Amino acid sequence: MLHGSLLYLPSQAKASTRQSLDWAGRFQSLAAQTTDPRLRAYYAAGMVSGQTPLGEVPLMAMDVETTGLNPARDGIVSIGILPMTLNRIEASRAKHWIVQPHVPMADASIVLHGITHSQVADAPKLIDILEPLLQAIAGHVLVVHCRAIERSFLNNALTRMINEPIEMPMIDTMELEARLYRNQPMPSWWDRWFHNKTVKPVSIRLADSRARYGLPFYNPHHAVTDALATAELLQAQVAHRFNAHSALDNFWR
């Protein structure tokens, strides 16, 4: 993802206070409603209960590289996924797809993710890899860094391609950081005035968040590398601040 240009969405800081959706029940309903066979199979695979301890949840880290940050205007150029748990990241089972975006790639996006015009010219369209993608993520809770971007791009893409949206439960490592760093009290007017105390917002971008947990720097903007970086970040977040026995409802949206 183009995390370097990512802006924090204020609504994410309050996400932890919202009632979690019954995703297991929702998937049952969607499996009966959807008309696309690929999407129906994805929903029919089911979803774990929100009461499942996080340490027992089948997880799938995901990253989507795009032509820009506007889901209504930009397109997907690559998708990376890899299975994981809180104890293990199965890097050998990672999958990576480069796809033709439905809009031209700007030079700025090529510089960031390194995917060239010739690569996308020879790549399949997203609709062509939709079935293996959905088969790979079926039954898993997705782990992403900035749910709003990943979900919007995938939802817009499917709506455009098959005239049906997609609903996917996600754990957002950016939102988990926002719970800590976007709810801190501001300095009093006395401190600001007499002690010249100012507060610069703590960055919750992927690389900066990883650095706070002592995780190594990875070159960004490759979908599988960013998915791996996100997977490691979730493991570190849970180890330092949360509990693997906590119910999934405390984490997904």
**Domain range summary for the chain, segments of one domain joined by +:** 21-242
Give pLDDT, residue 91.
96
Query: pLDDT digits over 26-72, tens only?
Result: 999 999 999 999 999 999 999 999 999 999 999 999 999 999 989 98
Phi/psi-derived region of residue 34, left when phi > 0, alpha when psi is between -120 and 50, beta in every other case:
beta
Give pLDDT, residue 195.
57
Distance of alpha carbon 27 from alpha carbon 18, whole angstroms? 20
Q: Look at residue 61 and give its three-state secondary structure.
A: strand
Q: Look at residue 36 and give its three-state secondary structure.
A: coil
Query: pLDDT digits over 121-176, tens only?
Result: 899 999 999 999 999 999 999 999 999 999 999 999 999 999 999 999 999 999 99
Q: Does domain 21-242 have CATH number 3.30.420.10?
A: yes
Distance of alpha carbon 25 from alpha carbon 30, whole angstroms? 9
* Cβ within 8 Å of residue 235, ≥6 positions away: 84, 86, 87, 89
Q: What's the token pair of residue 242?
A: 């949360």
Q: Is the pLDDT of residue 189 over 90?
A: no
Give the number of other Cβ atoms within 10 Å of residue 146's Cβ.
28
Q: If pLDDT is split at 50, 70 and 90, which confidence band does 111 have?
A: low
* Cβ within 8 Å of residue 46, ≥6 positions away: 24, 27, 28, 139
Give pLDDT, residue 11.
38
Q: Is the pLDDT of residue 207 over 60?
A: yes
Distance of alpha carbon 132 from alpha carbon 136, whole angstroms? 6
Beta strands 170-172; 141-144: pairing state: parallel
In a 13 Å sphere around the CA of 57, the CA atoms on its Cβ side amount to 33
Q: If pLDDT is split at 50, 70 and 90, which confidence band does 74 have?
A: very high
Give pLDDT, residue 196.
60
pTM: 0.88
